[in-house]
Structure 1
Amino acid sequence: MNLFRAARAVAGSDGDGPVDWTAVGAAAHAATDPGDLSLSPAERDGYADDVADARASIRAAAGVDFDLPETIEVQNRHHWIDANIETFRRLLAPLEGQVTLAPALARTANTGSMAVTLGFLANNVLGQYDPLLLGDGDDDHGLYFVHPNIVAVADALDVDHDRFRRWIAFHEVAHAAEFDSAPWLAPHLESSMEHAVSELAAGRFDRRALDDLNVTMTAVEGYAELVMDRAFDEEYADLREKLDERRGNVGPVSRIIRRLLGIGRKRRQYERGKGFFDAVADERGVAGAAVVWERQENLPTDAELDDPDAWLRRVS
């Protein structure tokens, strides 16, 4: 990790756009320890076995048929940064046409902000299902595990590495189940994100669009939390308790960054979505909860997230 090199990359940002994405990557790399990726044969086999077992268990418990991504990678933090720069660039593309009074100064500030964002996330993401939103349609979706973070968090929580890794695999494979069994979901998220960012780029704040996007992501995260727990083939209560506690216990700097990045909202999505789907599954079983992915109209409304019985009456 070299903070001076990171600052130099940001200061030297160049180009015509509001963000120098090459400098973002260089700065994020320089400021982030990549972490150890020297996997033993048992660890490498463990990831493969966990993903395969998660697919079988989720298909059986949730009653959904889905395929795994062709791209499944165990990464270090630099690999994760590289895999996500293009996603951030595509998401923020509507900002490319923005004109500022001091474009060079704005570009430096934007480049630094994006480098900090990617570096912070690279140090915190455990696993990621990537449906490659806003892509050109030629790329496959992917499944990534950030091994150094999984090891570090397992150590911090004082839990067995293999069991924790397996539980995370169930969560990410649950996301694969959602998107592969609901062909409408990725296009819906794409259009919602493009509209929200375009409105912001035009100086407008579309509260309804952001609320609709939040409701969809609450359903996506909540369902994955449900399946993560109920399809898991080992005891998980201690993992759930410790991980939830970790999500709430962060230092003051991390708390500020998390608030700026909206990660506090993401935690609320986990909690609210899981509460909704737990109630649905208690009434109709885990397979009954999968009805949400049959068509876009089956997504819960904001009010229904707090009233699962109303959703059950509507989709029955």
Structure 2
Amino acid sequence: MTSNPNTPSNGDDSPQDPLAEMLKNLMGGQGMGNIDPAELAKAAGLPNDPNMLQQMFAQVQAMMSSTSEGPVNWQLAHENARRVAAAGTDPSVNALQSREVDEALRLAELWLDPFTDLHATGLIGRAWSRAEWVEATLSTWKRLTEPVANSIANALSDALTQQMPEEMKAMMGGTSSMLQNMGGAIFGMQLGQAIGALSGEVVSSTDIGVPLADLEMALLPANVAKFGEGLSIPENDVRLFLAVREAAHARLFVQVPWLRGHLLSAIEAYARGIHIDMSRVEDLARDLDPGNPEGIQEALSQGVFMPERTAEQSAALEKLETALALVEGWVDELTAAATEKVLPSAVALRETVRRRRATGGPAEHAFSSLVGLELRPRRLREAATLWAALKDERGIAGRDAIWQHPDLLPTAQDLDDPAGFTERRRLAEASDSEVDDALQKLLEGGYDAPTEGESDAPKSDDGDTPGSTDPDEPKD
């Protein structure tokens, strides 16, 4: 049989499939029939754990041959997040830990009652392992990251395609979906890695200031113990302080039902505005070595696809950071009031939490680099000062009444000048009232149109139009 002259040879007169050769290089020289799972693990930044890789690899092979829903392989992200969360030590929550968490959250609700006008939630306190946190929050992570994740996965697939020789592109045909799956699989593993790593840092369901799990109130005992290491503070005090913060978050999000959607919408609006820098993707494609998956992983982890922020992005980011700061500032101020007389270590714990939220941990930094999304309340202290001032001025009920509607929320300008918030709001309300009165009068017919023959020129004090002449009045 005559071989195709356009098909390269292996040197032994047997034709070489260019697609198979490229995939062989990409998969560490093993080819599709015997892919090296360690190479895929490197692409996702995973540790070279043979047992974990073997479990992961069986699913990866199935994913590579099937079409995922959308550019990102979310099932692979889910599985990878679970594996990373379970790596190392993630013991199941025992009965004692469950009881301790439940008692701490119940006591926290009692401590909060005198200091807020928002009622207790009645939620049952949960104790979660890290893997359980992943399960409870992954659907929200998908919602928040999908706009950016899809763009990056498509860009990654394009980068892999650009690296192929022209003659190979003509031969690809329907198998091009394999490269799309490959890009979605690599990014899915990387995203799962970031979420799984976050599970090792968060201490509660609302630790990052966003209600990732709907209508839940939970602590992660393993991470609470890790948080308290080196603080020289009794573990029970640490648990109680963090329980008060979690209960305050839960009370706010449950009793202010529009708030969760408001926050998530702000995050989604910011994420949708992130556009992939295609010039940097092209640069990556030129330098990309398909046999070196570490390069792909490094590019993703360093956020090489992320462009400079536009003016619109900066405005969206300011809105998001202000909303996060207002939530965290309210919780910070309420927690301080509820714990200052019952926990001797409350002041020290408050400062520790403030610094931790302002700087973020390693996993949070890795997540923000991957998807370009930061969830840190940079203006927490200013927001706490504003809520304290409003409580002094209006009382607890007046302060908490601001949460009745999103239009009542303070702005970034109010964080700059907390003392002027009330006066600015009074002037704005007065202006709105004048407009409403004028509109109502117009709708009721209060402004009469001039009758036929009647001038709409201004009248003098005697009722005459200035400049008019009485026909009976003698002329000069």
Same fold flag (TM > 0.5): yes
What is the aligned partner in structure 2 of residue 136 from structure 1? none
The structure with the largest helix share of the pair is 1
The residue correspondences of 1:152-231 to structure 2 (distance < 5 A) are: 152-200=226-274, 206-207=312-313, 208-231=315-338
* Structure 2 residue matching 1:73: 3-state secondary structure: strand
What is the aligned partner in structure 1 of residue 192 from structure 2? 115
What is the aligned partner in structure 2 of residue 77 from structure 1? 130
Deviates more, 1:183-192 or 1:153-162: 183-192
What is the aligned partner in structure 2 of residue 234 from structure 1? 343
Matched, 1:36 2:146: no
* Structure 1 residue matching 2:127: 3-state secondary structure: strand
Q: Would the aligned equivalents of 2:358 and 2:376 in 1 still touch at CA under 8 Å? A: no
What is the aligned partner in structure 2 of residue 19 from structure 1? 72
What is the aligned partner in structure 2 of residue 127 from structure 1? 204
Over 3 Å counting, the alpha-carbon distance change for 1:123 and 1:82 in structure 2 is same
The residue correspondences of 1:233-312 to structure 2 (distance < 5 A) are: 233-235=342-344, 236-244=346-354, 257=366, 260=369, 266=376, 268-312=378-422
What is the aligned partner in structure 1 of residue 110 from structure 2? 56
Shift of the alpha carbon at 1:47? 1.8
Gaps of 5+ in 1: 134-139
Over 3 Å counting, the alpha-carbon distance change for 1:269 and 1:74 in structure 2 is farther
Over 3 Å counting, the alpha-carbon distance change for 1:36 and 1:202 in structure 2 is closer
Q: Which has the higher contact order (CA 8 A, sep 6+)?
A: 1
Q: Would the aligned equivalents of 2:325 and 2:377 in 1 still touch at CA under 8 Å? A: no
- The structure with the larger Rg is 2
**One-letter amino acid of the counterpart of residue 73, structure 1:** R
Could you list the per-position Cα deviations for residues 171-201 of structure 1 after superposition, in whole angstroms to 9, with x for gaps in the alignment? Answer: 1111122122222212322332333333336
Shift of the alpha carbon at 1:64? 1.7
* Structure 2 residue matching 1:141: 3-state secondary structure: coil
**One-letter amino acid of the counterpart of residue 134, structure 2:** I
**Aligned equivalents of 1:96, 1:89: Cα separation in 2:** 9
Q: Would the aligned equivalents of 2:121 and 2:254 in 1 still touch at CA under 8 Å? A: yes
Could you list the per-position Cα deviations for residues 262-316 of structure 1 after superposition, in whole angstroms to 9, with x for gaps in the alignment? Answer: 7976152433432332343344444443133121112111111121112233456
Could you list the per-position Cα deviations for residues 221-276 of structure 1 after superposition, in whole angstroms to 9, with x for gaps in the alignment? Answer: 1111111111123231122234445567889x668537637797615243343233
Deviates more, 1:159-168 or 1:105-114: 105-114
Q: Would the aligned equivalents of 2:116 and 2:400 in 1 still touch at CA under 8 Å? A: yes
Q: Would the aligned equivalents of 2:133 and 2:205 in 1 still touch at CA under 8 Å? A: no
* Structure 1 residue matching 2:119: 3-state secondary structure: coil
Over 3 Å counting, the alpha-carbon distance change for 1:106 and 1:219 in structure 2 is same
**Aligned equivalents of 1:190, 1:38: Cα separation in 2:** 30
Q: Would the aligned equivalents of 1:276 and 1:306 in 2 still touch at CA under 8 Å? A: no
Which of 88, 101, 106 lines up with 2:141 in the alignment? Answer: 88
Over 3 Å counting, the alpha-carbon distance change for 1:163 and 1:311 in structure 2 is same
TM-score, normalization by structure 1:
0.81
Over 3 Å counting, the alpha-carbon distance change for 1:195 and 1:51 in structure 2 is same
Q: Would the aligned equivalents of 2:93 and 2:128 in 1 still touch at CA under 8 Å? A: no
Instruction: Report percent identity of matched pairs.
Output: 22
Shift of the alpha carbon at 1:73? 1.8
**One-letter amino acid of the counterpart of residue 55, structure 1:** E
**Aligned equivalents of 1:201, 1:192: Cα separation in 2:** 17
* Structure 1 residue matching 2:126: 3-state secondary structure: strand
* Structure 2 residue matching 1:268: 3-state secondary structure: coil
Q: Would the aligned equivalents of 1:37 and 1:148 in 2 still touch at CA under 8 Å? A: no
Q: Would the aligned equivalents of 1:58 and 1:64 in 2 still touch at CA under 8 Å? A: no
* Structure 2 residue matching 1:266: 3-state secondary structure: coil
